[in-house]
Amino acid sequence: MKSLHRRKLISASAILAVAALTVATVPANAFSPKYEVGVNGSEIKLGITLPMTGAASPGYNKVPGAMKAYFDYVNANGGVNGRKITLVVKDDAYVPTQAVSKTNELILKDRVFALVAPLGTANNKAVAASVNPGRRGVPVLFVNTGFSGFADQKKYPTTYALLPSYVMEAKIMAEYIKDNFAGKNIGLVYQDDDFGTDALAGFKQAGVKFATTVGYASGSQGAATAAGWVTKLKAANCDVVILFGVSSATAAGLGTAAALKYAPQWILGSVGGDATTIKASGVPAGVLYNAVGASFLPATTDTTDEYVSLFSSIYAKAVPGSAFDNNVLVGMNSAFVTVQALKAAGGNLTRKSLLAAIDAKGSTFASAALLPLNYSATSHVGYNGYWFGKYSPTGDLKPDGGKYTLYTTDSGTGAVVKSTYKRPAMPAKGLPN
Amino acid sequence: MFEFINTLLIGITSGAIYSLMALALVLVWRSTRVVNFAQAGQALASTYFGFEAMKHIDNFWIALLIAMIGGAILAAFIEMVFMRLLLKHTSSGAIASVAPIIATLGLLEVIRALITLKWGGADVLIKAPLSNTGFSIGTHTLVFSPMKLAIIAVVVFLLSILSILFQKTNIGLSLRASAFSPELARLAGIRVDLVRTFGWALSGATGAVAGMLLVVNGNGSLSPASIEFSLLLISGFIAAVVGGLDSLLGTVIGGMILGLSTAFVLMYISDSLFFIAPFIILLLALIIRPQGILGKKGGRRA
Amino acid sequence: MRKINNKISNKTRIVIFLLLGFVIFLISNRVDELRVYQGASVAVYVVGIASIILLTGYSGQVSLGQGALLGVGGYAAALARNHWHASVPLTFAIAILAAAAAGALLGMAAARLSGPYLAGTTLALAVGLPSLANQFSILGGEQGLFFDVGAPPQSLGADFTQYKWFFWIAALATLIVIFWLQNVMRSRYGRTWKAIRGSDVAAELAGINIARSKVLAFTLSAGVAGLAGALLAMTIGTVSPSAFPLALSFSLLTGAVLSGVTTLGGVILGAVTLVAIPEIVASVVDRLGASEGVATNLPSLLVGALLILTVIVLPNGPVEQFRSKQRAKVKKSH
C-alpha cells in the first residue's frame, strides 16, 4: 500500500515537472524592436473575430472573404507602403467567452498589429473589458456593430465605430415615416435585446407612436413565431410595419406575411435588409417588392457606381460563385478604409501613428459610402446617416427616384438633417494614394 | 376571435411537428432506454438526404420517402455500431445512466460537423409541394394552408400506422421486453438485437419526417446551423417528458400541450418569453402529473 | 485500515496541494501572457467540471444545465460588485451562495426525478434561464453587465499583468475548492452519495434519506458551479446571456467525461483538453493548409469523436483506468 502512495507522489510530481517544463519552454516571441508588433519590412498582420459557424453566422461569414479579396488586390498592386496585408480570421461562434480567448490569441500569439471589424456588441464589450485593447494600445478599427456606445472615447480609447448607430437609424427612419406615411398605423417588430432597445430609444425620441410592437426573443424567429407576429400586426390594423431585426427574422416575417395575404408597407432595417440573404432563405423576390430599405453604401446592383463595379469584379475573381451582396460590400469597404488608415500612418507604421492618422485625416478618407466619416481627435463616430429606397421587382434595393437622398443625425438628441455631401471620386484603380 | 383561432392553428401545427420529434425520441427510449440527443442531428442529416433527392427527382413526397429510408438506415447504423458498443462497455458502473446521454451529445456534434463539411454552412432550399398561402374566410386569412393541412395529415397518418404496428403486432411488447429485460426477452425467443435496431430505424424515419415537415412548414430553407432544428430537439424532448416517455398517445398530447401553450403565451403575454415558456410548462407538468399525462403512478424513475 | 490510510493521505494531500500551489506560482512567472490567460480559463473549467463530477460522478444525478448555474453565479457576482461594491472575496462568496440557493431549488425538483426527466428539466433550464436577463433591466439585457475585480495590487509591481492577477485568483480559488471537495467526498456525505449512486434501494434500506442527500449534492454542486461562473465572469470582464450558452453546459459535461466523472484526480485533464483542442486543431490546420470550412468545423468534430471514444473505451475516465491497473499490479506483487 505504501509503495502505491510513493509511486503516486512520484508520478504526480513527475507530471507537474513535465507540465512546468513544457509551459516554461514556450519560446518567447522574438520580434525585432525596429518595428511595431505585427509589422515588419514586408508585412502588416491584422486580425478579426466574428461568427463563422453557428446560428449567427449566415451572411456575416462572407465578410472575411470579402476583406481578404480587397487586401489581396492591394497586395498584388504593391501593398501598403511596400508591405503586404495579411488577415488572421478567428471564429468566435458569437460567444463572448470565445471572442475574448480568440482576441487574446490574435494579440498575444499571432501578434497582430490591429483588430479590424470585430463583430457583435456583447462580444466587443467583453473584449474591451477583459483583453482591454485600449490599455494595450491595440487599435480596434471599425467594429462591425451599430451599438452607439463604442464611439465613446473614454471607455474605448482605441476603438473606432464605422456603421451608423441603431439610434441614428431609428431616428432617420422616423423622419422618413413622418414625410411619407403620416397618419398611418405603424407596427414594429424588433429584437428584444440591446439591438432592439437601442432602436426603440431612437423611435421614442423621434416621437413615433406605434399601434403595436412585437419584441421577439433573439433566436426564436421562425415560421411558427412569425405567424404570431403577423396575427398581432393584423389585429392592430397596421398599414406600415417596420422589421427591425436580423436577416432571419426579416425573412420569416416577410415570408409568413405573404402566406397569410398580409401586405402592409414594409420598412426593413439595415441589419436584416440584405436582399441576397433574405432571398437565400426562401423568400420570393416578389414579396420584397416595394418594401422600403435603408443603406449608407450605394446599392449593390448599382453597376454605374465606380466602387460597386470595381469591388464586385475583384470579389468575383477572388471568391468565384459567391453573390456580391451588402455583407460583401460592407466587408470590402471596411478593408478599403483600413488600407487608407494604414497608408495615412506612413512608412514608419506604429499603433500610435495609426491612431493619430485616423484622428487627423480620418474625416477625409475616401470610402464607398455616400457619407463622410466623422473621425477627429474628439470623435470616433464613423458614418452617421442613411438613404432610403425601395426594393425592385427582382428584390434589389434602389434609391427613391433613382437618386440617393441622404439624411444624417447623431446618437443623441440632435435633429435629422438632409446631407449635402458629395462623395469624391474613387482613387485611381481603387487604390488609395 | 380570429386572433384566437389563428393562435390555436399555430399551436396545432407546431404541436404536430413537436409530437413527431417526441415520438422519435420515445421510440428510441422504448427500445433501448436511451435518450437520444443525436436525434436532431439525425433529423437534420435525413432532411439533407431529402434535399439531395429533390435535386434528382423534383417530387417532395418521393424525397420524403427517401429521407425516411435514409434516416432509418442512419439510425440503424448508429444503434448497431455505437449503441451496442456503448451499452456493452457501460452497462454498469458510475456513469451507466449518463453515458448514453453524453455519447449521443458527442454524436450530435459529429453529425453536425460532417453535414457542414459535406453541404457547407449556407442555406439550401426545399420547395414545398403545396401552397403555403392561408385559407381565407371573408376578409380574414387563417394560419392554415394546404401545406399545413398536409402536414397534419402526414402526422396523423404516421401516428395511425405506428399505433396499428404497436397494437396489432407484438412489436411494441418486444420493444418493451428488449429494453427492460434483455435477458428474459432472449429467453422468450425475442431477437433482442434485431428488435432494438428496428426500434431505432423506426425512430430515424419518424425524425426524418419531422425534419422535412419542419422545413416546408417554414420558408423552405435549411442550414446546418438552423436554430429551428436545435429547438426541435428541445421541444421534442420536453413534449416527450410532458407526455410521459412511454405512451405514444401521451407523447402526441404532450406535443400538442407544448405547441398550444407556447403559442398562447407568445400571443397573449409576450413574444420575448419564447425560451422560458417551455421550461415553465415542463415544470408545471412535472408538478401536476409527475408520471406523465397518461402515465401510471410510480413516479418518474427510469 | 481504510481510516488509517485516509489519515496519512490527508497530511500528504495538504503537502501536495501546497507543492502544487508553489509550482503553479512558479509557472505563472515563467510563461507569456497568453498562457497565463489560458491557465485562468483552465482553472475556470476545472471548477466547473468539478461541480459536475460532484453531482454526476458522486451522486449519480445528471445536469445538462450546469451552464445556467454558472450564469447565476456570474450575475450574482456582477450585481454584488456593481451595486453593493462588495469586496472581491465577498462577491465570490455571494456568487456561491446565490447559485447554491438556485441549486437547492433545482435539487428539490430533481430529487423526485431521475434519468431522462432530470436531464430534460436541466436542459430546459440551460435554454431558458439565460434569456431571463432580457426580462429584467437590472440584468443589463443582451449586453449584460461589467464585472471588474480591479487591477492587481501596486505592491506586485508594474509588470504584473491583469491576466496574471486573474490567474492567481482563479488558481487559488480552484486549489481551495478541489481540496475542500476531496474532503467532502471522503466524508460521510461522500460515502452516502456513493451508496445512492450504487443503488437507491439498498441505500434506502440502510437508512439513508435519499431525497435529502440528493438535494444536498445538488446544492453543493451548484455552489461550486456558481464560483466557476464568477471566475468566468472575471476572466471575460462581463456577464451576458450569450456568455452562458447551452454549448457551455455541454462542454463542461464533455470535460467531466474526459476527466472521468468518478474521480477528481483527472479534472485537470478534461479542462486542459477543452482549452487545448481548438488551438491544436488550428495549428494543425495551419500546417496542412486545409480550407476554412474544415478549419472551423474540425474542433467540434474532434471533441465529439473524443467524447464518444472516451465513453466507450474509458467509461470511468483515464485516471480511474490507470489507478485500477496500478491496483491490479500492487495486488499481484503482494
Q: Are B291 and B299 in contact (CB under 8 A)?
A: yes
CATH architecture of A43-164+300-383: 3-Layer(aba) Sandwich (3.40)
How does pLDDT run across A396-424, given as a tens digit for each residue? Answer: 888 888 888 889 988 888 888 888 888 88
Domain B2-129+139-288: give its CATH code: 1.10.3470
SS3 B37: coil
DSSP C57: I
What is the pLDDT, as a whole number, of residue C5? 47
| Helix segments in chain C, DSSP class H | 2-30, 33-52, 59, 66-84, 88-110, 115-128, 162-186, 188-198, 200-205, 210-236, 246-259, 267-288, 292-313, 318-333
How far from the centroid of its chain's Cα atoms is residue A334's Cα? 9
Using CA atoms, how far apart are residues C110 and C62, in angstroms rounded to an integer? 10
- Closest chain B residue by Cα to residue C125: B279
Select the residue of A1, A91, A125 nearest C296 (Cβ to Cβ).
A91
Q: Is B135 exposed, middle or buried (CB count within 10 Å of its CB: 0-12, 13-18, 19+)?
A: middle
> Which residues does chain B have within 8 Å of residue A57's beta carbon, measured at their own beta carbons?
121, 225
The pairing of strands A406-408 and B136-137 is: unpaired
Calculate helix-pair angle for A2-24, C2-30, nearest 10 degrees. 10
C247–A126 C-beta distance less than 8 A: no
Give the β-pairing of A397-399 and A385-391. antiparallel
Closest-CA residue of C relative to A50 is C296
Out of A90-104, A258-272, B58-72, the most confident range is B58-72
Tell whether A281 lies on the interface with C, counting CB pairs under 8 A: no
CB spacing of B272 vs A215 below 8 angstroms: yes
- Window 330-369 of A, Cβ < 8 Å to B: none
Most C CBs within 10 Å, among A10, A22, A88, A130, to test the C interface: A130
Whether C99 is in a domain gets the answer yes
Please indicate whether, in this complex, the C-beta atoms of B106 and C316 are within 8 angstroms of each other. Answer: no
Q: What ipTM was predicted for this assembly?
A: 0.80
- At C150, list the grid cell: 480591479
* Cβ within 8 Å of A, C 77-116: none
Average pLDDT rounded to a whole number, residues B7-16 = 90
* Chain C residue whose CA is closest to B121: C293
For an interface test with B, give the residue of C61, C106, C122, C123 to mutate (most B CBs within 10 A): C123
pLDDT digits (tens, 9 = 90+) for B272-286: 788 888 888 888 887
Q: Give the mean pLDDT of B167-189.
A: 77
Grid coordinates 419526417 are at which residue?
B209
pLDDT tens for chain C, 334 residues long, are: 444 444 556 777 777 778 877 777 777 777 788 888 888 889 999 999 999 988 887 777 888 889 999 999 999 999 999 888 888 899 999 999 999 999 998 888 777 776 777 887 888 888 888 877 777 778 877 778 888 888 888 888 777 888 888 888 998 999 899 888 888 888 887 788 777 776 767 777 777 777 788 888 899 999 999 999 999 999 988 888 888 888 888 888 888 888 877 777 778 888 888 888 877 877 777 777 666 667 677 777 888 888 888 888 777 666 666 777 777 766 666 5
- Encode A66-103 in three state secondary structure: HHHHHHHHHHHCCCECCEEEEEEEEECCCCHHHHHHHH
What pLDDT score does C104 carry? Answer: 92
Residues of chain A with Cβ-Cβ distance to B223 below 8 Å are: 58
Q: How confident is the model at residue A1 (pLDDT cuts 50, 70, 90)?
A: very low
First-last CA distance in chain A = 78
Q: How confident is the model at residue A21 (pLDDT cuts 50, 70, 90)?
A: low
For residue B290, which residues of chain C lie inside 8 Å, CB to CB? 112-113
Does the residue C109 lie in any domain? Answer: yes
pLDDT of residue B67: 96
Note whether A52 contacts C240, CB cutoff 8 Å. no
Query: Which residues in chain C have their CB less than 8 angstroms from residue A1's CB?
Result: 5, 330
* Closest chain A residue to the Cα of C136, Cα to Cα: A193
**pLDDT by residue (tens digit) across B193-213?**
888 899 999 999 999 999 999
Instruction: With beta carbons under 8 A apart, name residues in chain C contacting B234.
Output: 123-124, 127
Q: Which of C148, C242, C327 has the CB atom closest to A122's CB atom?
A: C242
- Average pLDDT of span A372-379: 91
More confident residue, A3 or A393: A393
Above 60 in pLDDT, residue A276? yes
Among the partner residues A227, A251, A283, nearest to B10 by beta-carbon distance: A227
Domain count, chain C: 1
Does position B295 have pLDDT exceeding 70, yes or no?
Answer: no
Closest Cβ–Cβ partner in B141, B221, B273 for A260? B141
CA distance A253 to A269: 13
Whether C305 and chain B come into contact, CB under 8 Å, resolves to yes
pLDDT given for residue C232 in this prediction: 93
With an 8 Å Cβ cutoff, is C16 touching chain B?
A: no
∠ CA C290-C246-C148, nearest 5°, is 95
pLDDT confidence of residue A19: 59
Boundaries of CATH 3.40.50.2300 in chain A? 43-164+300-383, 166-294
Disruptive mutation site among B33, B34, B97 for chain C (greatest number of C CBs within 10 Å): B97
pTM to 2 decimal places: 0.84
- Distance CA(C250)–CA(B288), nearest Å, equals 29
Phi first, then psi, for residue A395 (nearest 5°) are 85, 25
Q: Which residue has the higher pLDDT, A33 or A216?
A: A216
Q: Which of residues 149-188 of C touch A (CB under 8 A)?
A: 162
**CA–CA gap between residue C197 and residue C57 (Å, rounded):** 8
Residue A181 in this model has a pLDDT that exceeds 60: yes
Domain A166-294: CATH class, spelled out: alpha beta
Does the beta-carbon distance from C144 to A122 stay under 8 Å? yes
pLDDT, residue C2, reads 44
Residues in B touching A227 (Cβ below 8 Å): 6, 10, 143
Grid coordinates in use for B168? Answer: 396489432
Rg of the Cα trace of chain B? 19
Q: What is the structure's pLDDT at C144?
A: 81
pLDDT of A4: 52
Asked, for residue C43, whether it belongs to a domain, the answer is: yes
